[in-house]
């Protein structure tokens, strides 16, 4: 059982390949508890892969990933994944109500909790304008939502889950400036006071990160703050 205390995450000489091609080589970095660490680099550099190893969708070939000193391979998958929130650009919505999509992964949420999470995610307003509000069916056969709306539902879901660790994979999608501002504001609320990994292509999108790790071709090419780099 993983019990997250400070929420310090350390990659120590992590090496990984899907097949024979090495994808990550001797990758090391540490995210201090509560900090935001940005993983930046070109497409194919291995950014998403690195964080899939934290979720244990795959296991490292050598090296280790620890959370507060505990190797992720030594804890139950349920407790590990229960401690991690994951927001990706391609937001997964299933065919169900808005409420069900927000509470997915949380078991004891009241209606007030759902609304509070949606408000913090800047989603409450558009949800109340849907035909059936929180009972509107979304997903494949339901009401079509925009990318920015789907993303805010994913943020609401993560907000409700309130995980100790958070992964944001390419969190800024192709949205207008106002939506981007809403998303940024909700992300700021979501990332406050929890260890967060942000994945981005460009340095400019992660200027507020406590530390930045630049991955190139599976290796750490540079590291520092936005000012250093
Ligand atoms: P992007 O910025 O485009 O999201 P990334 O840095 O996240 O890129 P990864 O998705 O980690 O890159 O992919 C790193 C490398 O691993 C790529 O060469 C990719 O083709 C390969 N790869 C990713 N997933 C798999 C998989 N499931 N099986 C085999 N190879 C994979
Ligand atoms: Mg990726």
Q: Which of 169, 157, 142, 75 is nearest to 109 (CA)?
A: 157
Q: How far apart are CA 111 and CA 113, in angstroms?
A: 5
pLDDT of residue 135: 97
pLDDT of residue 140: 87
Q: What is the pLDDT along the chain (229 residues), one digit of tens a residue?
A: 999 999 999 999 999 999 989 999 999 999 999 999 999 999 899 999 999 999 999 999 999 999 999 999 999 999 999 999 998 867 789 999 999 999 998 888 999 999 999 999 999 999 999 999 999 999 988 999 988 899 899 999 999 999 999 999 875 556 788 888 888 888 889 999 899 999 988 777 788 899 999 999 999 999 998 888 8
At which residue do the structure tokens 């789907």 appear? 150
Neighbours of 110 (CB within 10 A): 9
> Does residue 18's CB lie within 6 angstroms of at least one atom of ligand 1?
yes
Region of residue 133 (left: phi > 0; alpha: psi -120 to 50; beta: else)? left
pLDDT of residue 131: 96
> Does residue 169's CB lie within 6 angstroms of at least one atom of ligand 1?
no
pLDDT of residue 174: 65
> Does residue 20's CB lie within 6 angstroms of at least one atom of ligand 1?
no
> Does residue 49's CB lie within 6 angstroms of at least one atom of ligand 1?
yes
Report how far apart, in Å, the C-alpha atoms of 45 and of each of 24, 61, 127, 202 are: 8, 17, 37, 13
Helices in the chain by DSSP H: which ranges?
Answer: 47-54, 77-82, 98-103, 111-120, 124-128, 147-161, 177-191
Domain at 88-162: CATH architecture: 3-Layer(aba) Sandwich (3.40)
pLDDT of residue 92: 81
At which residue do the structure tokens 């000012």 appear? 227
- What is the length of the chain? 229
In SS3 terms, 39-76 reads as EECCCCCCHHHHHHHHCCCCCCCEEEEEECCEEHHHCC
CATH 3.40.50.300 residue ranges of the chain are 1-83+166-171+194-229, 88-162
| Bridge partners, 198 (sequence order) | 38, 168
Neighbours of 47 (CB within 10 A): 26
Q: How far apart are CA 63 and CA 116, in angstroms?
A: 41
Q: Which of 200, 195, 174, 203 is nearest to 47 (CA)?
A: 200
Helices 147-161 + 177-191 axis angle, to 10: 10
- Spacing, Cα 17 to ligand 1 middle (Å): 10
Query: What is the atom index within ligand 1 of the atom nearest the CA of 47?
Result: 6
pLDDT of residue 194: 95
The domain over range 1-83+166-171+194-229 is classified in CATH as 3.40.50.920: no
């Amino acid at each position: 059982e993983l019990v997250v205390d400070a929420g310090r995450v350390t990659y120590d000489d992590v090496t990984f390949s899907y097949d024979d091609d090495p994808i990550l080589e001797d990758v090391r970095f540490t995210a201090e508890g509560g900090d935001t660490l940005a993983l930046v680099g070109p497409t194919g550099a291995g950014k998403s892969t690195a964080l899939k190893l934290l979720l244990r969708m795959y296991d490292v070939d050598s090296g280790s990933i620890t959370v507060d000193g505990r190797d992720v391979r030594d804890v139950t998958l349920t407790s590990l994944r229960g401690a991690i929130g994951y927001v990706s650009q391609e937001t997964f919505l299933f065919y169900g109500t808005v409420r069900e999509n927000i509470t997915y992964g949380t078991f004891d949420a009241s209606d007030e909790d759902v609304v509070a999470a949606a408000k913090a995610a800047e989603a409450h307003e558009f949800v109340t304008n849907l035909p059936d509000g929180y009972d509107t069916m979304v997903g494949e056969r339901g009401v079509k939502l925009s990318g920015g709306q789907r993303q805010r539902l994913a943020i609401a879901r993560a907000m409700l889950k309130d995980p100790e660790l958070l992964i944001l994979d390419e969190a800024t999608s192709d949205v207008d400036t106002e939506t981007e501002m809403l998303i940024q504001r909700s992300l700021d609320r979501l990332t406050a006071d929890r260890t967060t990994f942000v994945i981005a292509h460009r340095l400019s999108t992660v200027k507020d990160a406590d530390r930045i790790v630049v991955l190139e071709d599976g290796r750490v090419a540079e590291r520092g703050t936005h000012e250093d780099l």
